Amino acid sequence: MSKKKLEEGDIFYAHQNGKYFFGKILLDVSKRILLKEPQNLGLKFFSGCCLAQVYSGIYDTPNLENKEVIIPSTFIFTKYFYSKKYKVDWTHYDHEPIDYKELDFPEALQSVHQKGICFVKGELELKTKITSEQFDNEYKIMKGIKGSFNSLIDYACYYQDRKDLMEVESKRYLDWSDFRFSPKKRQEIYRQIGEDMNQSYYEMALKHSHDLGRFYQ
């Protein structure tokens, strides 16, 4: 019998190399965003993806003891939870409702035609002072999709000093694709866009006329 589909708010665990790792589905882009706004400029790129997080801790048994997060909201392909080729060995564990005002998104840069190098996060696209040369040589942190949840498990192992449990050892980690993992560069980008890096995504997006709440009505 096939497993039920994971929904927003579902907490689950995955098994890898004899250990258990816990994650949570935060947002289904296609069902939550694109169903209402198929041409949403900020999130259309992530069609077919969900936003997921990984909790801290590497467990010998499937019991979640710590709700701290080691890998925050990251985009992965939803289909890989059910794919035979890229199988994720997951089991539903619990459910917690999502508060959209607490959702966060990866932070990156993007070269935008006739606008320049922009900071992108969720629906936000804010112009920076980064030059093309700086972007190519120093600040090339670009938005992307991390494949399956197994990739996030590997990142979780890396950031918890357990490279011995990784299935695939990467040459680059999240500091190459998300400013939240590159604090010094993040501080400079936020200075350039004139925003407080400690505010929530919801607060910042609302100031720029993007109300995430419209997708939850």
Contact 178, 155 (CB under 8 A): no
Q: What is the mean pLDDT of residues 120-131?
A: 97
Residues 63-108: pLDDT tens digits? Answer: 999 999 999 999 999 999 998 877 788 999 999 999 999 999 999 9
Strands annotated E in the chain: 10-16, 19-28, 49-55, 69-77, 90-95, 108-112, 116-121, 124-127
Q: Which pLDDT belongs to residue 1?
A: 38
**Could you list the residue range(s) of the whole structural domain that residue 205 is in?**
10-216
Residues 16-75: pLDDT tens digits? Answer: 999 999 999 999 999 999 999 999 999 999 999 999 999 999 999 999 999 999 999 999
3 within domain boundaries: no
Q: What is the mean pLDDT of residues 151-166?
A: 97
Q: Which residues pair with 111 in a beta bridge?
A: 117
Total number of residues shown for the chain: 217
136 within domain boundaries: yes
Nearest one of 121, 143, 156 to 23, comparing CA atoms: 156
- Judged on CB neighbours under 10 Å (0-12, 13-18, 19+), 211 is middle
170 within domain boundaries: yes
5 within domain boundaries: no
Query: How many Cβ atoms from other residues are within 10 Å of residue 6's Cβ?
Result: 23
Total number of domains constituting the chain: 1
Model's pTM, two decimal places?
0.95
Q: Where does the pLDDT of residue 211 fall: very low under 50, low under 70, confident under 90, or very high at 90 and above?
A: very high
